[in-house]
Amino acid sequence: ILNVEQSPQSLHVQEGDSTNFTCSFPSSNFYALHWYRWETAKSPEALFVMTLNGDEKKKGRISATLNTKEGYSYLYIKGSQPEDSATYLCASLMNRDDKIIFGKGTRLHILP
């Protein structure tokens, strides 16, 4: 079974500070990596879909990088705001017609 690991499990960040966290996945047969943002009592919402080694994607203050050779992706949040408090999930796809496997998420708490 494909193992997708996220670290840390939980993170407390002061409002205004920048932060980042990691998603690790097996590098063999890599096909795609997804990042999702999941607010409490809502559904996960897609942030990024990344497929190429060296990919960098950005949406406002949030950005992500991808290293498929070593099997990791970083998510960065610049100047954290209270609305950034959420669980951030990554999910990996090994082959085109395969399962999408999720990590357990990083729970981000922004402190006012």
Partner 1 sequence: EAQVTQNPRYLITVTGKKLTVTCSQNMNHEYMSWYRQDPGLGLRQIYYSMNVEVTDKGDVPEGYKVSRKEKRNFPLILESPSPNQTSLYFCASSLGTGGYNSPLHFGNGTRLTVT
Q: How open is the CA angle 76-53-61, to the nearest 5 degrees?
A: 20
Instruction: Name which position in 49, 67, 72, 74 contacts partner 1 (CB under 8 A).
Output: 49
What's the min distance (Å) between Cβ of 34 and partner 1? Answer: 6
Least Cα distance to 48 among 38, 34, 61, 65 occurs for: 34
103 binds partner 1 (CB under 8 A): yes
Q: How open is the CA angle 79-85-88, to the nearest 5 degrees?
A: 100
Q: Which stretch binds partner 1 (CB under 8 A): 15-23, 60-68, 70-78, 90-98?
A: 90-98
Instruction: Name which position in 10, 99, 109, 111 contacts partner 1 (CB under 8 A).
Output: 99
What's the min distance (Å) between Cβ of 44 and partner 1? Answer: 5
Q: In Å, how far are 25, 32, 85, 102, 106 from 11, measured between CA atoms? A: 20, 26, 10, 19, 7
51 binds partner 1 (CB under 8 A): yes
